[in-house]
Structure 1
Amino acid sequence: MPVPDSFRPRVLRLLRPLSRPGFHLFLTGLLMVLGFVLAHRLSERAGRDELSALSTERLGLYAANLAAELGRHASLPSLLAIDPTLQALMLAPQDAERRRAASQTLARVNVRAGTQQIFVADARGQVLSASEALTPPARLNEAMAQGRTHFFAADPTTGSTDFYLLHALPQPGAAAAVIVVRFNLAPLEATWVDLGLRSQGERILCADDQDVVIMSSVQAWKYAALGHADPSRRQALQASARYPQPIGPDLALPASLEVHQGQQVQLPLPGARSTQPMLAQQFQLVPLGLKLVALSDLSEVRQRAQLAAWGGAAFGASIGLLVLHLSSRRRALRQLTQAQADLRQTHARLEQLVDSRTAELRHTNEALKTQIAQRLQTEGELLQASKLAVLGQMSAGLSHEVNQPLTALRALARNSVRLLEGGRHDAVATNLQLMDDMVERMGRITRQLKSFARRADEQLAGDIPLLASVRNALLLLEHRTRALGLQADVDVPADLRVRAEANRLEQVLVNLLGNAMDALDAQGTPQPGPLRELRVRATALDGGRRVLVQVQDSGGGMTDADLAHLFEPFFTTKPAGEGLGLGLVISAKIVREFGGTLRAERLPQGMSFEFDLAVETWEAARESDDV
Structure 2
Amino acid sequence: MGKRADKVPGRMKRWGAFGFAVLMVLGLGFWVVGLYARHVALSQLSGQSHADASLKVALLRAVLERPRSLPLLLSEDQQVVDALTGRDAGAVERLNDKLERLVTGTSASVLYVINARGVAIASSNWREPLSFVGADYGFREYFRGAVQFGAAEHFALGNVSKRPGLYISRRVGPAAAPLGVVVVKAEFDQLEADWREATRFAFVTDSAGVVLISSVPAWRFMTLAPLPKADMAAIRDSLQFGDAPLQPLPINHVEALGPDAWLVHSVVPGDRAGEYLHLALDVPSTPWKLSYLVPTEPAISSAAREWRLLAFFIALPVFSIFGVYLWRRQAALARIYRAEADRQELERRVDERTRDLSQAHDRLQDEMAGRRETEARLQVVQQELVQANRLAILGQVAAGVAHEINQPLATIRAYAENALVFLERQQQQPVQDNLGAIARLTARIGTITDELKAFARKGRTAPEPVLLVEAIDGAIVLLRSRFSGHLDALSVDEIPAGLAVQANRIRLEQVLINLFQNALEALEGQGDGYVKVSALPQGNEVAITVRDNGPGIAPEILPNLFHPFNTSKDKGLGLGLVISKDIIADYGGRMDVDSSPAGTCFTIFLQRVPQ
What is the TM-score normalised by the length of structure 2? 0.48
Q: Give the greater-gyration-radius structure (CA).
A: 2
| Bigger relative contact order (CA 8 A; separation at least 6) | 1
